[in-house]
Structure 1
Amino acid sequence: MTGRDENGDDGRRTGRRSRALKTAGLVLAGALVLGVGAAGWAYWQLNANIKSVDINNALGDDRPAKAVTTPSPSAAATASPLPTEALNILVLGSDSRSGGENQELGGGSGAGARSDTAMVVHIDAGRTGATVVSIPRDTLVTRPPCPRASGGSTAVAYNSMFNSAYSVGGPVCAVKTVESLTNVRMDHYIEIDFSGFANLVNALGGVTVTADEDIDDDDSHLRLKAGTHHLDGKTALALARTRHGIGDGSDLGRIGLQQKLVKALLDRISATGLLTDPARLYRVADAVTGSLTTDTGLDSLSELMSLGQSLKVLSSDTVRTVTMPVVTAPSDRNRVVADEPEASELWRSLR
C-alpha cells in the first residue's frame, strides 16, 4: 500500500511539491544574484565613465586657504549624514570637438579645447542657497605659471584671455587661474562637454526657457522667436553657445542665456523628482558621467550622488546668478577686464 501523511496526501505528491518549492527558491536566488550583479555592473560602468584630474596634488599648497564655516545651531541640532559645509566649485563647459558627437554638435573639428563657459558655483553653508558667478571668457587676466603634466611649468602670461588657461594647461591651469583671479579656493572642479550637456538636457526631458528677443545666429545655427520654448538638448546647447544673434554680440549676452539655462535646469530637476526615480536617475547619470571630468574628490558615483543629494533643496528661487563685474579693456575694445573694486568685493563676499 502507498503511505499517506497525516493530512491524507500522497507522499509522492508531497515530494513533487517539495522539489517545486526548491526549484522556485533556486530561481528566486538566481534572479537576486543576477539583479545584484546587474546593479553592480551598472554602478561600475558609471564610475568608469568619469574622468578625473588630481588637481590638489598638482597645485600643492600654493593656493588660497580653504574657507572655514561653522554650522548654525539649528543645523547642528538636526545633524545630517550629508555634507553641509560651504563649497566653491569651478564648473567649465569645454568646446572640445573630440569624438563624433562633439564634432557634430560643435561644428568643425578644431584641435584642442577651450573653456567655452566658466562659472564659480558658491554653495552656502547648510546647502540651502547658492550663487553662480559667470566669468566672461574674453576677460584679460594675468595667467599664473601652471604645472605641466610632463614636468616644469608654463610661463606667466600678462593680458591673456581667461579661456586660454584651459588651452595651455587643462583643468589644473584653469583652476590655478581662477584662484589667482579671485583669491577663492576651488574645492572641486567639474567639466562637461557639448555632448554631455545635450545628453543631460535630453535625459531630463528637455528644458523650458523664455527668450526676451528673437534670436538669429548663423554661428550657433539657432533660430528662435521671442517667447517661451521647450528645448531639446541640441537646441539648448545652441542657446548656450549663442552670442552673435543677440544684444551687441559680446560674450556678456551669451552669459545671460547660460544663466537662464542654469535656472531652467534646476526647475526641471526639481519637477522630475530625480532622486526618487531610479530609472530616470540612471539615465541622467549615464548621460552626464560619460562626458564628465572632475577633480579626484568627485570622481565616483557615490561622491557625485552625495553632493547631488545634499543640494536637493536648491531651486531657481534659491540660486542667484551674477556676472563678474567687467569693463571694456583699454588695450582692446573686443576684450574686457575686471571692474574694480566691484569685482574684488564680489569675490570677498564669497570668501
Structure 2
Amino acid sequence: MERTKSTLNRRGFLGSMAVTVGAAVGLGRSVRAESSSRVSEPATSSQNPSPSKRTFKAIDWSINAWFPGGIGARFSGIGHPELGVCNNSSPWAGLPYSKNRREEVIRGWTPEFIIERFDLAGVEKGGLLACWAAEGLGGKECRVEADEVYAVVNKYPDRFYGIVGVCALPGRWSKYYAPTYIKYAVQQLGFKGVHMYPHWFGVKINDTRMYPIYETCSELDVPFLFQIGTGTGMSNSRMCALPEWIDDVARDFPTLKIVGIHGGGSWEQNFISMLGKDPNVYWGLDASPPSTWTQPQRGIVDLLKQDRGPGYREQRQNYQDKVMWGTDFPVQDWAVSLEQFDALGLPEEIARKVLRENVSRLFKL
C-alpha cells in the first residue's frame, strides 16, 4: 500500500503533465478570443434557438475534453481515421458555430467557450471525459490524462466534473493499471465515473481481464460507462458490447452501476430489454440527437412515457428513471440538442429526470 501511495503522489503525477497542461492553457487564451467572437456573431435560429420554457437546468454527462492541444490534435498527429470524416460535408459538420469543421476538431475548443454554450442553452454543468482511445483496433493509443481534465474541473468546479478513461491492457505495475488509475482519479482528484471504449482494444466487457475494473468501481461506488452496439467502421473496430455480455456483467456485479453509452445499433432493442431487466443497467443517450428518438424502430419517446407499475416506480426502475441525455460533444451542440429534446413534448416530470435528475443521482453530484 505504501508503494502505491508513493507511486501515485499527486505532485509527481501532476508534474509529469505540467508541460502538456501549461501548453493547453496557453493556447487556450489565444483560441478563447476567437471562440468568443464567433459566439457573438449574428445568430441564426439554429445557432441560438428561442429560450426554453424549462424551469430547470440540464446536466450533460458526456463531453469529450476536446481542448486546444488536447485529443483533437493528438488524433491528428497519429492520423486517426475518424478525422477523415471530419470535413464540412459530413454529419460532424453540424455544429452551428463551425466554419471549417476539420480544422476546429483538430484545434479544439476552450473550457470558456463550452461554458458560453452552456449558458446559452440552459446547461448547469457537464461531465468531462478523460478519453482513452486508439488509432483503430490495435493501433497507436491516444488518451487525455486525468490530470488534464482535473485542471479544468478544479478551475470551474461548478461547471464541470471529471470522468476518467481507462484501458484493460496495462499491467499491474503500470501507473495506468486500471484499478490503480481509477483509485487515483476518484479518491485524489474527485472524479465521478469511469469510461471505456472496449472496441478499440479488443477486450470484451465480460472478459475476466475487465473484472478488477468492475470490482474497483463497485468498491468506490462510481458508475462504469462503455460504448454499446457497434464501433465505427473506419476505425476497424469490432462490436462494442452486446447485450448478452452486459447481462453477464450485471449479474456478476449486482452493485456495479453500468451505463451503456451512445445507441445500440442493430442490437438496440436487445439492450433495451437488458435495461428493463437488470436493475443496475442505465442508458446514456448522447451520440444520437433527440430528433432521432421518435423514429419508429427506436421508440424511445414511448419508452420514456411507460409506467411499468407501482413496484417499478418505487424502485426507480421505469425507463424514464434509467435514461440520461448527453451530447457527446463535439458531436452535438447543447442549444440545438435541447431544442430538439423540447420538441419531443415530454411531460416536465419525465424531462427533468432525463435531462438532470438521473445523472445527478447516478454520479452523486
TM-score (norm 2): 0.20
How does the TM-score come out when normalised to structure 1? Answer: 0.21
Decide which structure has the larger Cα Rg and report it. 1
Higher strand share: 1
